[in-house]
A and B are shown apart, each in its own frame.
Chain A
Amino acid sequence: MRRALLWLPLGVFAILAAFFFRGLSLDPNAQPSALIGRPVPAFALSELHSGAALTGQDLPQGPYLLNVWASWCITCQVEHPYLTELSKTLPIVGLNYKDERTAAQNWLAKLGDPYVLHLFDVDGQLGLDLGVAGAPETFVVDATGVIRARVQGEVNARTYARIIAPALAAGRAP
């Protein structure tokens, strides 16, 4: 009995090791969004420049990217050149998040405007419905208006290849 008990620590460790081996092939950072596979939530916001009312009806026919940005967000400046490049082939909707109207307008005037549509979300309503944790975040929306993927943080060539391109491809093949 006592002899058998002495093997117990080894047994416990063997089970743990098997779990660790399995754990190596899982990505702990993958953050599944509750919204993936769902349509963009309904909203009633204003246009950044004119202040005109905007709802889900005004969104472009997909596929497009929904980019959450703000003038106070430094990483947004970092990803801005890449988004500008991307906007030549893919429409991007800008969701200006918890920002000042004039600060945001100046930011676009200074750095250039990659967006086809400007949603102004001063108190983060749509951001909340989308489950935005912070700017920047980018959602891939397919032709039927359904969210396909989400990028938390900077959009660059790497995240494009890893997340956005596969989601666009999956959206195209029904």
Chain B
Amino acid sequence: MFAEFGHFALVTAFAIAICQGMIPLYGYATQQDTLIATAKPLALLQGFALAVSFAVLTHGFLVHDFSIHYVANNSNLYLPWYFRMSAVWGAHEGSLLLWALILAGWGVAVSLFSRGIPEHMAAIVLSVMGMIGIGFIAFMLFTSNPFERLLPFAPANGKDLNPLLQDPGLIFHPPMLYMGYVGLSVAYAFAMAALIAGRLDATWARWSRPWTTIAWSFLTFGIALGSWWAYYELGWGGWWFWDPVENASLIPWLVATALMHSLAVTEKRGLFRSWTVLLAIAAFSLSLLGTFLVRSGVLTSVHAFANDPERGVFILGFLIVVIGGSLTLYAIRAAAVSEPGRFGWLSRESWLLFNNLMLTVLAVSVLLGTLYPLLVDAVGGGKVSVGPPFFNAVFVPLTAILVSFMVFGPLTSWQHMKDTRQYRPLIVAAIVSILVGALWPTQMLGDYSIASALGTVLALWLVLGTLLDIWQRRLEYGSAWVMARKVGAGFFGMWVAHIGVAVTVFGVAMVENHTEHRDVRMGPGDVQALGPYEVRFIQMESLQGPNYSSEMGTFEVWEGSRLYQAVTPEKRVYSASQMTMTEAAIDPGFTRDLYIALGEPLGDGDWAVRLSIKPFVDWIWGGSFLMGFGGIIAILDRRYRRARARQQQPVTPAEQATVV
């Protein structure tokens, strides 16, 4: 009976979502405060109902209730409890439930933390989020019910969770990513509310900004975790594959990054309004599009979930309603938006415009590359695939341009900069970066590489430019202490995030240009040189895990005559699914990772062995963490709390000039 209770909670949540999507909006249209006031309680109720539903499904996994179809397909008696918890979102139905739960969770957050926002605006925002909820819950109830039973003959044991997903990385990666994807729905809902209420001004941008930033932070963490998981679990040793599913998360990230910067202009200067709204719509729409691409099976991917055309049609219909509807509203309402104010060609506005332009071009190129196979196939052009060469050829130079100009925005004043003295120290920064960057590759393994030198120059330039910005603020405020108190968390967040970009750029440049990589045939007793190390294959042994059997190799890594470390890569065969998984042995380090993975057995006890030294690879994720962390710092800015206390007073021109 327990599963039916979860199903019932889901149906209840559906009913509540319908009310939440309709009643407050109707209340707004007819000016009835009692109806408007239902928005917040309904959002809380929906969150509760979905939490109950989610808890019931988790319970089903924990107690091995194989009469639930979804549990039987994705769990097993021998699956450890923590993977049974994460298996809840290990496949299609459960990850949708997680998605709906997180959406409702954001709704709860909006109703709790929106006291500074006029009641009717919050009500429209929650109504829009309720409508999105209707779509997702309906999708579950009608095509992908996680509580479907396998009765009367429940299996004695389950089919087991996909072994790829039996990994600690999976416990955190999807929830983080969904927090980001779905968090963008708040920015979307704010944009829709502004369009509906005809209130596209600086105040709206201020309300929307912290929500966008926090969602962006989660998305950053989610993508970084996914990349890290692919690196150590897929056993290919790469960290980014330009796979459609990865691209589906990168595209909204690029657009959300543009949105964050554009919102800054709209809040501070009241400009770019129409463009900012469009970005807010686009960011969430692209998140939904990502879901469509992953769930409908229109594109192939290493992540391929079960494909089902019926589901595809449903999601496509939902996409058309959400994206088509909002773009129609945009086309009708944005015409009334005027763009007051001008800005000179040398101003922070123009640098941020440049940032937006570059990020949009990047997003569109990745989107086109991802969809190209589908577009060609649809017009009868046959099967083509767009590989990493395309993405690298487009993405790398554009990113390099973006990063090289990132330094200027913060150093430039709003409106019009007459005095370019602030730029002068940049000449020193440029000379130092070029000198150090040009010499750096000679210190690394392998041949001299121009790309590596360029990456180092860019990273160093960005760090020095950011430090210069911090230094000039300090001069402005007189002392570091005064600056720390006065400057606002938004600036600290930006500095941390920009340095994070530099760290990631450096990591990427090093890994891509100085990785020493060898595929060799080795048997027990064999020795291979790897950079400064010697790798000795000691032995192979067979092991039995809880739900898999494993061939484990022992390798000793020697540094001269000193034993540095012994590592044990594995090749696992999971019993229920008969899937083979590579467990690479990785010795992580600050300046390099040692990576040893077993390939195929070659007979005579020999194995194909993959040996790599990956310099600075962990900096890629370290930098991403700094970016996301910068976002979290930024939303702690006290002006968001002040704005709340001050209620809805519009920003005065004097404030616009002083607050940066």
Complex interface: chain A residues within 8 A of B603 (CB): 72, 99-100, 103
- A75: Cβ under 8 A from any B Cβ: yes
CB pair A32 B334 closer than 8 Å? no
A3 within 8 A of B: yes
Q: Is residue B292 within 8 Å, beta carbon to beta carbon, of the partner chain? A: yes
Pick from B298, B327, B573: contact of A9, CB below 8 A. B327
Q: Is the CB of A3 within 8 A of B383?
A: no
| Stretch from B113-121, B223-231, B316-324 contacting the other chain | B316-324
A24–B377 Cα gap in the complex (Å)? 11
> Once bound together, how far apart are the Cα atoms of A9 and B327, in whole Å?
7
Residue of A nearest to B319 (CB): A17
Q: Taking the complex as formed, is A88 at the interface, i.e. its CB lies under 8 A from any CB of chain B?
A: no
Once A10-B331, A23-B377, A24-B312 are accepted as A-B contacts, the answer to whether A72 and B573 lie under 8 Å apart by CB is: no
Q: How many A-B residue pairs have CB under 8 A?
A: 81
Contact of A17 among B282, B324, B335, B374 (CB under 8 A): B324
With both beta carbons as reference points, the residue of chain A lying nearest to B385 in the complex is identified as A28
- Give Cα distance in the complex from A9 to B285, angstroms: 12
Interface size on B, residues (CB 8 A): 40
User: Shortest distance in angstroms between A102's beta carbon and chain B's nearest beta carbon?
Assistant: 9
Q: Is the CB of B324 within 8 A of A30?
A: no
Within 8 A of B (CB), among A1-27: 2-3, 6-7, 9-10, 13-14, 16-17, 19-26
Q: Name which residue of chain A comes closest to B325, CB basis.
A: A10
Inter-chain contact B298/A31, CB cutoff 8 Å: no
Residue B296 lies at the interface, judged by CB distance under 8 Å to chain A: yes
| Nearest A residue (CB) for B293 | A20
- Chain A residue contacts of B238, Cβ below 8 A: none
- Given A26-B377, A32-B383, A10:B328 Cβ within 8 A: yes
| Chain A: interface size category | 20 to 34
Cβ–Cβ contact B578 & A19, under 8 A: no
Bound-state Cα–Cα, A20 to B371, Å = 9
The answer to whether B578 and A24 touch across the interface, beta carbons within 8 angstroms, is: no
| CB-CB nearest in chain B for A77 | B578
Which residues from chain B contact A28 at a C-beta distance below 8 Å?
297-300, 373-374, 377, 383
Q: Is the CB of B383 within 8 A of A23?
A: no
Contact between B330 and A23, CB atoms less than 8 A apart: no
**Pair B578/A23 contact, Cβ less than 8 Å:** no
Sorted nearest first, the 9 A-B pairs with minimum C-beta distance are A10-B327, A23-B298, A22-B378, A100-B603, A28-B300, A6-B331, A24-B312, A7-B331, A23-B374
Q: What residues of chain B have their CB less than 8 Å away from a CB belonging to chain A?
A: 274, 278, 281-282, 285, 292, 296-300, 309, 312-313, 316, 319-320, 323-324, 327-328, 330-331, 334-335, 371, 373-375, 377-378, 382-383, 573, 578, 580, 600-601, 603-604
